[in-house]
């Protein structure tokens, strides 16, 4: 998505921001560090703020907090 010019809002309260930027700046992804920093917004305290005005939401976790919140908002999770 970053290669296509997307802006990512990332919420991960367990991973340091610097680690997220480091992994997204991996040379195999062909994206320079300055572009990653420009296209990635990091949210460490509020999942709803990270989702605000999003065109798409991707949840890649099995953490209970997300399952509870998704069920609360009426989203079916298989």
Domain ranges of the chain: 8-72
| pLDDT on residue 66 | 67
| pLDDT on residue 70 | 55
| pLDDT on residue 69 | 56
Residue 74 is encoded by which pair of tokens?
Answer: 């009426």
CB 37 within 8 A of CB 21: yes
CB 43 within 8 A of CB 9: yes
Three-state SS at 8: strand
Mean pLDDT per 10-residue interval, the chain, length 78 residues: 85 86 80 84 81 83 67 59
Q: How far apart are CA 78 and CA 76, in angstroms?
A: 7
| pLDDT on residue 20 | 87
Q: How far apart are CA 16 and CA 18, in angstroms?
A: 5
């Amino acid at each position: 998505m970053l290669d296509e010019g997307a802006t990512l809002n990332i919420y991960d309260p367990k991973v340091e921001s610097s680690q997220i930027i480091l992994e997204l700046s991996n040379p195999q992804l062909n994206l320079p560090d300055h572009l990653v920093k420009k296209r990635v917004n990091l949210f460490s305290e509020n999942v709803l703020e990270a989702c605000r005005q999003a065109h798409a939401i991707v949840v890649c976790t099995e953490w209970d907090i997300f399952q509870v919140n998704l069920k609360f908002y009426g989203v079916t999770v298989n």
